[in-house]
Amino acid sequence: MPIRRIGILTGGGDCPGLNAVIRAVAKAALGGGLEVVGIEDGYLGLIENRLRVLTGADVSGILTQGGTILGSSNKANPSNYALPDGKGGWRYEDVTDRVLEHYRQAGLDVLVVIGGDGTMSGAATLIQRGLRIVGVPKTIDNDLWATDITFGHDTAVATATDAIDKVHTTASSHHRVLVVELMGRYAGWLALNAGVAGGADVILIPEVPFTLSRVADQCVARGRKGKHFTIIAAGEGAHPLDGQRFVDRTDASSPDPIRLGGVARFLAWQLEKLTGMESRSVVLGHVQRGGAPTARDRCLATLFGVKAFDLLMAGEFGRLVVSRQGQIDSVEIALVANKVRTVPLDHEMVKAARAIGITFGD
């Protein structure tokens, strides 16, 4: 069956570069005489039948815009959709049939889903039910299995690095320990890369459980060398060797209900007691997901979008665009579902950080 009408959606947390992918897919498709339909708020738009035709004008001038012109949702999993139960809680329904009906009603021949692991897990289920899907990986966390890099990560690293650069001023002027809490969920890529780029003295990542006394020792040792301040880049998933991850809240309406947070506050509090140095915490939060994509993310997003278009035109459905060793390629979406790509302990950036005296608190 020829491809005439392409649906496109963005799922999960927003990230810089989503619009660049939408633009690339749409421009390639419209240029080839195809129709493009934008689905609002990720899978939610397919569940609620909120779709709109995208024209050239809709996707013009959006390359530099953060966020997504289509809206996104990290809550609407069609096979386990949360609805209020009327008693202040949630009940879960499989609304996949509704999604299939709306997809067919809209006359879509294929769907491009741009998202992270949650979105790809949803896609894997829809593929089993017969939908033709091509996936594009996004996330500031860079934790998607099978791809070396996701767009959005580079921009988030740049934003986080800028923040770490800026807290140096107060840390050094006031002789303080400054703990910066970075996103990344269960993977430490963001904290690792921004920590190295920002010249952090301590980097704490989920993959390397820390011992508080070792972190404190580093702060004190720096003081002995005449450096009376310490900058700590802590991934939100970092946790003590003998303790649990820090959970800020749980959201039962979301496929991944855990929202991490609190490690920086804990560290600042404990380190002040252990070292006697005044300590503060900064939580960067959603600032890391905002703003215009970097040039690198714009290029990657464009490469990914065009590759997605090529895959669907070639009839290669059920595939996820990936970047491996500098090559744009694709893998089966089903292979990626429910997997997290964490930082290998022998990763070259970990080794480089250790070689220049950065401690991971282990």
- So which residues are the catalytic ones? 141
Decide whether 191 or 208 has the Cβ nearer to ligand F6P. Answer: 191
Decide whether 58 or 236 has the Cβ nearer to ligand F6P. Answer: 236
Are 219 and 275 within 8 A, CB to CB? yes
Q: Minimal distance in Å, beta carbon 140 to ligand F6P?
A: 6
Q: What is the DSSP string of 24-50?
A: HHHHHHHHTT-EEEEETTTHHHHHTT-
How many Å apart are CA 171 and CA 223, to the nearest integer?
A: 13
Q: Minimal distance in Å, beta carbon 194 to ligand F6P?
A: 12
Q: Minimal distance in Å, beta carbon 143 to ligand F6P?
A: 8
Decide whether 258 or 292 has the Cβ nearer to ligand F6P. Answer: 258
Quote the tokens at residue 70.
């289509």
Q: How far apart are the first and last CA of the chain?
A: 57
How many Å apart are CA 190 and CA 161, to the nearest integer?
A: 10
Question: What contacts 25, CB < 8 A, 6 or more positions away?
Answer: 6, 8, 36, 112, 136, 305, 306, 308, 309
Quote the tokens at residue 223.
């003081």
Residues that bind ligand F6P (CB under 6 A): 13, 74, 116, 139-141, 183-185, 236, 259-260, 289
| CB count in 10 Å sphere of residue 352 | 11
Q: Minimal distance in Å, beta carbon 67 to ligand F6P?
A: 12
How many Å apart are CA 302 and CA 308, to the nearest integer?
A: 10
In this chain, which residue has its C-beta nearest to ligand F6P?
A: 183
Q: Minimal distance in Å, beta carbon 235 to ligand F6P?
A: 9
Decide whether 204 or 277 has the Cβ nearer to ligand F6P. Answer: 204
Decide whether 126 or 183 has the Cβ nearer to ligand F6P. Answer: 183
How many Å apart are CA 229 and CA 196, to the nearest integer?
A: 17
How many Å apart are CA 279 and CA 272, to the nearest integer?
A: 5
How many Å apart are CA 322 and CA 325, to the nearest integer?
A: 10
Q: Minimal distance in Å, beta carbon 137 to ligand F6P?
A: 12
Alpha helices (runs of H) in the chain, residue ranges in sequence order = 18-31, 43-47, 96-105, 117-128, 153-174, 189-197, 212-224, 263-275, 295-313, 333-336, 348-355
Decide whether 301 or 312 has the Cβ nearer to ligand F6P. Answer: 301
